[in-house]
C-alpha cells in the first residue's frame, strides 16, 4: 500500500510529550531502564519532523525480552519490530502510533550514532536545514513502507554524521 510521509513544522510540545513517555518508561522498568533518550527529529528544536516521538531505551541485554517486554506491554506499548540481526533491536509503539520506542543493549554502537546525529543537528544550522530539506523532498513521494522513506535518507544522514565525527576530532 502506497503512502505519503507527513512532515510537520517543529512542535514545541514534542519535548513535553517525550518527558511524559520517558516517565512512563522509567516507572514501568525502574532500574532496568539504564538510559532513556529523546532521539530523532522531534528531539531537535526547530527541525521539521514526522509527528512521532522517537525514544531510545537502553537495557542490559535487549535479547532478554522477558526482562522488559511484559512491563512495557503493561505500560501501554506494543511490540512492533523484533530485529535480532540488527543490534538485537526491538521497537515498541503506543496504540496511537505517536511513539517509537527503540530498545538496545548497553554498549550498542547504534545508540552513540543516534545521539551524535541528534546532538550535531542541535548545534549545526546548515546541516539541520539540509536534513529538513531532504526530508520534505522525500515526503513528497509515495512510499510502500515508511522504512523505504527512512532508507532513502541514509546518504544525507551519513554525510551529516561524517561532518559531526570530523568536528568532534577538532580540539
> CB 106: neighbour CB atoms within 10 A?
12
Q: Round to whole Å and give the CA distance between 46 and 41.
A: 9
Task: List pLDDT tens digits, range 38-83.
Answer: 999 999 999 999 999 999 999 999 999 999 999 999 999 999 999 9
Q: Which CATH number fits domain 3-169: 3.30.460.10, 2.40.480.10, 3.40.50.1580, 3.30.565.10?
A: 3.30.460.10
Is the full-model pTM beyond 0.75? yes
Confidence of residue 1 (pLDDT cuts 50, 70, 90): very low
Identify the pLDDT of residue 147: 84
- Percent of the chain predicted with pLDDT > 90: 89
Amino acid at each position: 500500500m502506497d503512502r505519503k510521509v507527513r512532515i510537520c513544522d517543529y512542535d514545541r510540545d514534542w519535548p513535553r510529550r517525550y518527558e511524559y513517555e520517558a516517565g512512563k518508561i522509567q516507572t514501568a522498568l525502574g532500574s532496568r531502564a539504564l538510559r532513556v533518550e529523546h532521539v530523532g527529529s522531534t528531539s531537535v528544536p526547530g527541525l521539521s519532523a514526522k509527528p512521532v516521538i522517537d525514544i531510545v531505551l537502553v537495557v542490559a541485554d535487549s535479547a532478554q525480552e522477558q526482562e522488559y517486554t511484559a512491563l512495557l506491554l503493561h505500560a501501554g506499548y506494543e511490540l512492533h519490530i523484533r530485529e535480532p540481526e540488527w543490534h538485537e533491536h526491538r521497537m515498541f509503539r503506543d496504540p496511537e502510533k505517536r511513539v517509537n520506542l527503540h530498545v538496545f543493549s548497553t554498549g550498542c554502537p547504534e545508540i552513540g550514532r543516534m545521539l551524535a546525529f541528534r546532538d550535531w543537528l542541535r548545534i549545526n544550522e546548515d546541516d539541520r536545514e539540509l536534513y529538513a530539506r531532504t526530508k520534505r523532498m522525500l515526503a513528497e513521494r509515495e512510499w510502500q513502507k515508511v522504512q523505504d522513506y527512512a532508507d532513502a535518507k541514509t546518504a544525507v544522514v551519513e554525510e551529516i554524521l561524517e561532518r559531526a565525527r570530523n568536528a568532534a576530532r577538532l580540539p
